[in-house]
Copies of this chain bind each other. A is one copy, B any other.
């Protein structure tokens, strides 16, 4: 018995679509323009983001609709086993981000008496702009007992700091840390899930998942491009993020340089990942005016309470008729504003999550906060310390997960592997 009747692979299906669309355009028949426009809209949501690049994809890539982010604990017995897993992961990642199976033909074309080497649920689905972004936690370099398991303790980046305890955090150790992290972003939840699942499968014997979160944001197919996503407080979230268009800000605030102290991290960055529960039933009983004072922005437009439009600068000194600042000093935007923190900025990828219902019949929901920064100690810690001490928003959130990972620079050609810069 062979694997299947008509052979199906992600590659062949994609090929067929491409040829069909091209054929219409070349033929110049009536409707060609329509087909090509429709194809380009499809392409926007279903296209391929290049895997090989000086920086990893999934950082400055405009945010896709979904995230599936997983941290792993390494169980590999030795350095060589870990390297082999990372090599296998890299091969699978470069395949899957190209809209192919984890292993070519793995789902249905392999030997029938062996388990398939791709789990198959993404067969027929296009790449969907899948990006896989790989990072390492401090415990990879030296574990909790201080042991240098893989002979790489001297490679730990100077900026991969041990995060201080933030006063208001309510951390669950099982939602924090991990030796490795993979952020899968795609416009299709099934494609993102498939990617993490297949990496977890290939990790058998070398790593297990420590925590995983599935998140949702805007939907590319139905949203205006460039529109700021709203979080589950109903407010626009990420207005001040560094966009894919801001090359200088990326250089200043996102990409590590050799002069930062760790040459192998040049072109990489650091990921702060915080799982923040939003107490939405309390929030939903708060008046509009109070909600806006907590955030410091108008809920509808996203403009600062000091006036203007969404992207207008904050005026933290402007006062209202009562003599008080229009943006309260404990408003979220005031507390975290760049002007209070030496002008530093973050690159944000925000996704909401929901996780069933609590004991009292209220929806569990929150924000998977993902920020990429060049230097966590100077760009994130001071901001988070300010938030913990004085942000009015603390009444409405509980942070259960908090992690920091080094995100190595990108791979530039086949044959290289995730983490190679560390083991080289």
A contact face: mostly helix, strand, loop, or mixed: loop
**A188 and B219 within 8 A (CB):** yes
A423 CB, nearest partner CB in chain B, Å = 24
Q: A6-B309, A121-B232, A124-B224 are in contact. Are A361 and B42 (CB under 8 A)?
A: no
A residues sitting closer than 8 Å to B (CB atoms) are 1, 3-8, 17, 31, 33-38, 40-42, 45-46, 66, 68, 70, 73, 107-116, 118-126, 128, 187-190, 193, 196-197, 200-201, 208-214, 216-224, 227, 230-235, 280-281, 284-289, 291-292, 298-301, 303, 305, 307-309, 320, 352, 354-357, 360-363, 365
**A234 and B116 within 8 A (CB):** yes
**B189 and A8 within 8 A (CB):** no
Q: A4-B301, A217-B190, A221-B187 are in contact. Are A234 and B357 (CB under 8 A)?
A: no
- What are 11 A-B contacts defined by CB distance under 8 Å? A33-B37, A108-B300, A115-B288, A120-B235, A120-B299, A121-B234, A125-B218, A193-B232, A197-B232, A208-B361, A220-B221
A223 CB, nearest partner CB in chain B, Å = 7
A351 CB, nearest partner CB in chain B, Å = 10
In whole angstroms, how far apart are the Cα atoms of A280 and B360 in the complex? 31
In whole angstroms, how far apart are the Cα atoms of A40 and B31 in the complex? 13
In whole angstroms, how far apart are the Cα atoms of A281 and B289 in the complex? 50
Nearest 9 A/B pairs, CB to CB: A120-B234, A4-B300, A208-B361, A221-B221, A34-B37, A108-B300, A189-B216, A112-B289, A46-B222
In whole angstroms, how far apart are the Cα atoms of A150 and B340 in the complex? 58
A170 CB, nearest partner CB in chain B, Å = 18
